[in-house]
Structure 1
Amino acid sequence: MRNLKRWIFLFAGFACYGIAIAMMVRADLGLGPWDAFHQGVALQLGMKIGTAAVIVGAAVMLFWLPLKQKPGIGTVLNVLCIGPMTNVALDYVPVPHDAVTQWALMLGGIVVISIGSALYLPTKLGAGPRDGLMLGLHQKFGLSIRVARTIIEISVLGIGWWLGGAVGLGTLAFAALIGPLVHWMLDVEKKLGLVG
């Protein structure tokens, strides 16, 4: 039963990610660093953002080899599931027509992605490809997690912006809110007894 709960949480977390990314894309106020990068790649290659996310995720995993990171089943499923879920969600999330709706979608997307993180992280079925890259740099070069993450996220955000990905006030909101919200969601899960 415990294993079943882990799998349910994993896929529920991935579904939240897909829906949240679609919400933030439709808000058109700016995306988080990786999603701005995925959007930039998608625009350059003429594909959907979710498809670009799958390709980027698989490519990032190649960097795991020299960094001696080992993927789990959750890592592979992360690459294969979130992108297609984003593409499906984009067909259902409406385009907002005013600033209030834009910000409601943007902030709602940040909350939903925080819920997704809080669901899938405790399953311990494998780090996402981008988190594994951060951990690999931390271990191989002795960088702190904070420094490794900052280097990666600034790099992908800059490249994403250069490729045409959406960077704006929503990007700043994402950067400011995502950490505290994920932390709070994990605390709520513990208090409710959903995670150990």
Structure 2
Amino acid sequence: MPSPSPRPPRRLTRRLVQLYAGLALYGASSAFLVRAGLGLDPWDVFHQGVAERTGWSIGAVSVAVGALVLLLWVPLRQRPGLGTVSNVFAVGLIMDATLALVPDVRGAVAQGALLAAGVILNGVATGLYIAAAFGPGPRDGLMTGLHRRTGRSLRLVRTSIEGTVLAAGFLLGGSVGVGTVAYALAIGPLSQFFLRVFALRPLDPEPAPAAVPAPA
């Protein structure tokens, strides 16, 4: 009896490595944007604003908000995957850990460099964990679920959600600035590029068994 091919386990291992490397990098890159002090992406503006009001860390707020958003999946009949649940916890925890290690920076050059690093690495992280195909993050799943249930365009749904959390975060004291604009302009093209880079290639078909000559 032939032994099973080792390729599927290796493929699963690669997917898991991509998933958790992507989530870790996402949390770290988000922390870079915080330390750059030039403005955050819309959801982190909201997380930071809530953190300012509650005294919680921004990572803890990210975990709590992610869990609450995941509850909104229930009426939308969205089904979470391993990546969805991992996203809720991993990103916020890594974000807080990175903030504990990386100090604030001063000066336009240092802030700009950290901002650029944060945005680019965030694009890398998005490509990694989405290409792993273990399910969307809770916020992305909310967007796609509302798109499917309402029939509105994905762009309109995303703009509405992110515009709402950005405005709420700003009113709560979250950081909005040039970094917010840079993130909004760059993250789409970066994510699309790195999704192609990290896409999993289809498995090669099993080779056909060698023909056995018929007995003479």
Per the normalisation by structure 2, the TM-score is 0.87
1:62-77 to 2 correspondence within 5 Å? Answer: 62-77=71-86
Distance 2:148 2:102 in 1: 40
Contact (CA 8 Å) 1:13, 1:119: kept in 2 or not? Answer: yes
Contact (CA 8 Å) 1:122, 1:195: kept in 2 or not? Answer: no
Structure 2: runs of 5 or more not aligned = 1-9, 203-216
SS at match of 2:88: helix
Task: Please identify the structure whose Cα radius of gyration is greater.
Answer: 2
Distance 1:126 1:106 in 2: 28
User: Is 1:82 matched with 2:91?
Assistant: yes
Distance 2:73 2:188 in 1: 24
Structure 1: runs of 5 or more not aligned = none
1:173 maps to amino acid: A
Alignment-derived partner of residue 58 in structure 1: 67
Q: Choose which of 80, 93, 97 in structure 1 pairs with 2:106.
A: 97
- The Cα offsets for residues 2-52 of structure 1, whole Å up to 9 and x where unpaired, read as 001111000000111111011000001000000101111111110110000
RMSD of Structure 2 on Structure 1 (CA): 1.1
Alignment-derived partner of residue 42 in structure 1: 51
Of Structure 1 and Structure 2, the greater helix share is in 1
Q: Choose which of 118, 124, 135 in structure 1 pairs with 2:144.
A: 135
Alignment-derived partner of residue 206 in structure 2: none
Distance 1:23 1:56 in 2: 20
Alignment-derived partner of residue 168 in structure 1: 177
Distance 1:30 1:38 in 2: 12
1:38 maps to amino acid: H
Contact (CA 8 Å) 2:46, 2:169: kept in 1 or not? Answer: yes
Alignment-derived partner of residue 148 in structure 1: 157
Q: Choose which of 168, 187, 193 in structure 1 pairs with 2:196.
A: 187
Distance 2:75 2:151 in 1: 15
SS at match of 1:96: coil
Distance 1:187 1:118 in 2: 8
SS at match of 1:127: coil
1:7 maps to amino acid: L
Distance 1:45 1:118 in 2: 32
Alignment-derived partner of residue 33 in structure 1: 42
Contact (CA 8 Å) 2:131, 2:198: kept in 1 or not? Answer: no
Q: Please list every run of at least 4 consecutive aligned residues from structure 1 whose deviation after the TM superposition is greater than 4 angstroms.
A: none
Contact (CA 8 Å) 1:22, 1:87: kept in 2 or not? Answer: yes
1:2 maps to amino acid: R
User: Is 1:22 matched with 2:31?
Assistant: yes
Equivalent residues, number = 193
Cα distance change of structure 1 residues 178 and 62 upon mapping to structure 2, 3 Å threshold: same
Distance 1:195 1:148 in 2: 31
Distance 2:14 2:198 in 1: 13
Distance 2:192 2:133 in 1: 16
Measured after TM superposition, the shift of residue 195 of structure 1 is 4.7
SS at match of 1:30: coil
- The Cα offsets for residues 76-104 of structure 1, whole Å up to 9 and x where unpaired, read as 11001110000000011221110110011
1:125 maps to amino acid: F
- Identity of aligned pairs, percent? 48
Distance 2:85 2:29 in 1: 20
Contact (CA 8 Å) 1:49, 1:83: kept in 2 or not? Answer: yes
